């Protein structure tokens, strides 16, 4: 089976997942109550599939869909400020054909990059429980077995970094912005602060810091 077909089948399974009752209840409630600026939108309000280039050399691992971003639009890093930062940086470094990420049907196409998350449902307060991270790890593990070309894993934030390490049984690795770890088989684990509004509005993560991460990723996938 081709990677495209395998990922499509896996994403169908993800979208139907009901392993975490707390998260299933929360994303339904968010989709029903909405927020004023999106009151006329039809929310996805289900586990959010991963997406991108099935033959990607760069795998981008976020924390989870945003309640009014991916949980609304049905695509990771789409329809919120984090998605704006990600799309713009990927476009500037040649991983995307356009600098914005608004909806599933906006024409954004990734080249040599695949986007996934540690948890596929938006968690309350952006804080998934350990059991929820554990439940979702099976999907990440399945993706890693399909994405055979992935040689650089970019983990966005400490939780995503830890989730990746636990999923493939890596121990003792430190998280820090910009840190790189050689993890065997020619693969590299690259870490960054998450482009959450909390980090970008406070200056913990500046645009130049963020863009440097993607410049590094571009250089590493070509090495």
DSSP string of the chain, one letter each residue = --HHHHHHHHHHHHHT----HHHHHHHHHHHHH--GGGTTS----SPPPPEE-TT-SEEEEES---TTTHHHHSSTT-SSHHHHHHHHHHHHTTSBSSS----TTS---BSSEEEEES-SSPPGGG---HHHHHHHHHHHHHHHHH-TT--EEEEESHHHHHHHHHHTT--SPPP-TT-EEE-STT-EEEEE----HHHHHHTSS-HHHHHHHHHHHHHHHH-
Whether the CB-CB separation of 117 and 48 falls below 8 Å is answered with yes
pLDDT digits (tens, 9 = 90+) for 7-56: 999 999 999 999 999 999 999 999 999 999 999 999 999 999 999 999 99
Section 201-208 average pLDDT:
97
Query: How many structural domains does the chain have?
Result: 1
Bridge-based pairing of strands 51-52 and 58-62 is: unpaired
Confidence bin at 134 (pLDDT 50/70/90): very high
CATH number at residue 109: 3.40.470.10
pLDDT at 211 over 80: yes
Give me the pLDDT at residue 223, please: 80
Q: Which pLDDT value is given to residue 73?
A: 98
Task: Specify the pLDDT at position 64.
Answer: 98
Which domain does 156 fall in, by range? 3-222
Predicted model pTM: 0.96
User: pLDDT confidence of 1, banded at 50, 70, 90?
Assistant: confident
């Amino acid at each position: 089976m081709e990677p495209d077909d395998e990922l499509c089948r896996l994403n169908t399974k993800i979208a139907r997942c009901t392993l975490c009752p707390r998260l299933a209840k929360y994303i339904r409630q968010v989709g029903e109550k909405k927020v004023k600026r999106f009151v006329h939108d039809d929310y996805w309000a289900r586990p959010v599939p991963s997406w991108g280039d099935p033959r990607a050399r760069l795998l981008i691992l976020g924390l989870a869909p945003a309640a009014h971003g991916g949980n609304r639009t049905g695509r990771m890093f789409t329809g919120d400020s984090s998605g704006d930062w990600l799309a713009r940086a990927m476009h500037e470094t040649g991983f995307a054909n356009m600098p914005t990420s608004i909806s599933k049907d906006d024409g954004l196409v990734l080249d040599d990059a695949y986007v996934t998350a540690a948890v596929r449902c938006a968690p309350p307060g952006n804080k998934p429980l350990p059991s929820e991270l554990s439940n979702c790890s099976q999907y990440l593990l399945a993706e890693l077995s399909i994405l055979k070309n992935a040689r650089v894993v970019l983990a966005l934030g400490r939780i995503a970094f830890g989730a990746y390490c636990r999923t493939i049984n890596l121990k003792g690795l430190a998280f820090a912005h910009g840190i790189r770890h050689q993890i065997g088989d020619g693969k590299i684990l690259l870490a960054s602060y998450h482009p959450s509004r909390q980090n970008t509005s406070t200056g913990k993560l500046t645009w130049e810091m963020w863009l440097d991460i993607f410049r590094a990723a571009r250089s590493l996938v070509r090495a």
